[in-house]
Amino acid sequence: MKGERPSSSPGVKSLARLLPFARPYAWQFVGVIALVIVFNASSVMQPYLVKIAIDQDISSHHPNPRGLLDIAALYIGVVVAGVAANYLQITLLQRAGQSVIRSIRVGLFQHIERQSMRFFDRRAVGALVANVSNDTETVNQFFTNFFLSMIRDGLSIIMILIAMFRLDVRMGLFSLVLVPIIFAVAAGFRGALRRRYQRTRTLLASMVAFLAENLAGMRITQLFRQEARQAQKFRDLAGQHRDANIREYFTSVWFNRTFEMLGNLSVAAVVYIGGAAVLGGSIPFGTLYAFIRYIQQFFQPINAMTQQWNTLQSAMVAAERIGQILEIEPDVVNPERPISLPADARGRVEFRHVTFGYDPRHPVLRDISFVAEPGWFVGIVGPTGAGKSSLMSLLLRFYDPSEGDVLVDGVPIPSLAQDALHRFVGIVQQEVHLFTGTIRDNIRMFRSDISDARVEEAALAVGADRVIAKLPDGYDTFIYGRGANLSMGERQLIAFARIVALDPRVLILDEATANLDSQTEQWVQQGLRAASQGRTTLVIAHRLATIRHADQILVLDHGRIVERGRHDELVRLGGLYARLHAESGVESRLFS
Ligand SMILES: Nc1ncnc2c1ncn2[C@@H]1O[C@H](COP(=O)(O)OP(=O)(O)OP(=O)(O)O)[C@@H](O)[C@H]1O
């Protein structure tokens, strides 16, 4: 993975920054630690109990069948306690880990929701989806696997060592020497395994990419008779993947066998050293038995801990990516003390000497000034790239201009709370976005304060009821995949109904450029007129018919308003509008 560097502090810092998300679950993590201690104690006690049985009760000098029974009962109790503690610990940790991840996901999503449009301009949606879904999952591994391993396996090693030292210091020292050796072997193999694994994954990804490209382009391959060449390339890739897979497999076999062998060698050493001690009478036989079990128990936690190295690395990279997003403050922020619009605000829109550029060094709007009086229907036209959509984005405050002011009813829009602004200024875009849910949900935009009756009134007003009536479940028809089951014109009508139900004073309309059949076109035009009734409407028009009767038409070119007036005035003026009007013919598209 790119940029993986576990020792670098940014990764550690990023993980630390996510800790507050875990704070509410701190007690659950404490509970996990307590349960881990019980579980580990159970594992450490088991060999010890057998040692007692061997040395005290089975010993030929004073056999004690009653004592054996007690030990057996205690042994069962210890095992059951261990299993119970383990079960509870897993459940609790999974709950805590998943809750942390949910908090991070929700926090991240809300943070992304607060961002202004500039943020989305710079990022691919796919990357953000990966951040919210996969990166959080990887961080979860840190809160569950890594955390658990450090506590459980770390404690396990310490407890086993303590038990050994208590039994016999010399044998304890011998085991202590083993720890770094086992660690070094495990870590070395883990590193090699990880490299091999990554290589296999990369080659698999290349193979899948090659397949996807070639299957999609099979017609071209066949037309140009490239089958043999492509097959040879695929054979090479598949061969590399095979080799990498075999190497990965062998490394893992080597690792497991080496580890096993190391374990058995240690047992042999304990048998040799301890056996001599038993013969010499310095330790009882039960102690030797316990040592052999402890040595065997020793390897598993060390192996598990080295495995966590990879988890930590991936988690740090993921946390860094999440952190980078959480660090970004939105460009457009809510005012600290927002001004409320008067209750009788009527929807006057004013741009005063507005200049704006996505990159401030390259303005796409220059010195824009105009007024739309309440209830006006204003047409905005201009060649593609003239800045029409940008102008509307400023009115919605998706961006702030670098110079000048945008005002509604005399109030500069940065002084308004964003939600107040968006209740006041609504938009219907070319590309209508419908959410998963029913038609009714989509019209009321999931707002419970909009009644069913209002939803239906709104649909009726814009003529969407005709379309909805034809759908299988009417208003309760479910919308799939952003409205794939509806035509473009139908989606436009739903969007008009949505805006009428929302009832903003100012309406921005980006007229759809798509070709609609003449019947639907007529419905959409009627819907548009109905939606604009009684509110100030600014429409980015692509058809002349739409703005013929506009109160004002603004003609934009290269980010400036080059002409303004009513249709007849502009035609008389004989400028850009008149020229394009003459060229385009009355019913055809305007400029774009
Ligand atoms: N998100 C963005 N980031 C950077 N530049 C942008 C962005 N959106 C638009 N632009 C640029 O700003 C300029 C104006 O674009 P805008 O979309 O406002 O024009 P338009 O008149 O609405 O065009 P169209 O009729 O094609 O929709 C163009 O040069 C465009 O490339």
Query: For residue range 65-79, what is the model confidence (pLDDT) as tens digits?
Result: 787 888 899 999 999
pLDDT in tens, 305-328: 877 877 888 888 888 888 888 888
pLDDT(216) > 50: yes
Q: Is the pLDDT of residue 372 over 80?
A: yes
Of residues 583 and 181, more confidently modeled: 181
Mean pLDDT of the chain: 85
- Residue 450 confidence (pLDDT): 86
Alpha helices per DSSP H over 335-483: 388-395, 418-424, 439-444, 452-462, 464-470
Asked which of 32-36, 566-570, 578-582 is least confident by mean pLDDT, the reply is 578-582
Q: Is the pLDDT of residue 479 over 60?
A: yes
The structure tokens listed for 438 are 């029913």
* 389 Cβ inside 6 Å of ligand 1: yes
The residue among 350, 505, 356, 336 whose CA lies nearest residue 413 is 350
121 Cα nearest atom in ligand 1 = 1
Residue nearest to atom 6 of ligand 1 (CA): 358
Looking at residue 548, the DSSP 8-state letter turns out to be T
390 lines ligand 1 (CB under 6 A): yes
What pLDDT does 127 receive? 73
Q: Give the closest residue to 314 by CA, choosing from 205, 186, 206, 201.
A: 201
Predicted local distance difference test score (pLDDT) of residue 3: 37
Which of 388, 513, 580 should be mutated for ligand 1, with most atoms under 8 A from CB? Answer: 388
The reply to whether ligand 1 has any atom less than 6 angstroms from the CB of 431 is: no
Task: Say how far apart CA 377 and CA 53 lie, in whole Å.
Answer: 95
Quote the percentage of the chain above a pLDDT of 90. Answer: 24
The amino acid at residue 90 is: I
- In this structure, are residues 526 and 489 in contact, taking their beta carbons and an 8 Å threshold? no
Which atom of ligand 1 sits closest to the CA of residue 382? 21
pLDDT recorded at residue 357: 92
Which pLDDT does position 514 carry in this prediction?
A: 63
pLDDT in tens, 518-543: 777 787 888 888 888 889 999 998 87
**Closest protein CA for atom 16 of ligand 1:** 387
* Res 587: pLDDT: 41
User: Residue 387: CB within 6 Å of ligand 1?
Assistant: yes
| pLDDT score recorded for residue 5 | 42
Whether the predicted pLDDT of 591 surpasses 60: no
Ligand 1 midpoint to CA 364 (Å):
8
pLDDT band of 190, cuts 50, 70, 90: confident
**What's the pLDDT score for residue 532?**
82
User: DSSP string spanning 185-210?
Assistant: HHHHHHHHHHHHHHHHHHHHHHHHHH
**Ligand 1, from 365, 384, 390: best to mutate by most atoms within 8 Å of Cβ?**
390
Sign of the alpha-carbon dihedral angle for 26, 27, 31, 37: positive
285-327 and 65-114 helices, crossing angle to 10°: 10
Contact between 524 and 352 under an 8 Å Cβ cutoff? The reply is no
Mean pLDDT for the stretch of residues 468-479: 87
Is the ipTM here above 0.90?
yes
At 6, the pLDDT band (50, 70, 90 cuts) reads very low
Per-residue pLDDT, averaged over 96-104, amounts to 90
pLDDT surpasses 70 at 89: yes
Ligand 1: which residue has its CA nearest to atom 1? 121
pLDDT of residue 243: 95
Dump pLDDT digits (tens) for 247-274. Answer: 989 988 888 888 888 888 888 888 888 8
- What's the helix, strand, coil split of the chain in %, to 5? 65, 10, 25
pLDDT of residue 75: 93
Q: Is the CB of 429 under 6 A from ligand 1?
A: no
User: In the prediction, which pLDDT does 10 show?
Assistant: 66
Cβ 189 vs Cβ 254: under 8 Å: yes
- Paired strand residues for 507: 426, 537
State in Å: Cα 392 to ligand 1 middle.
11
- By three-state DSSP, how is residue 563 classified? strand
Angle between helices 518-532 and 488-502 (to 10 degrees): 10
Whether 287 is in the pocket of ligand 1, judged by its Cβ within 6 Å, is no
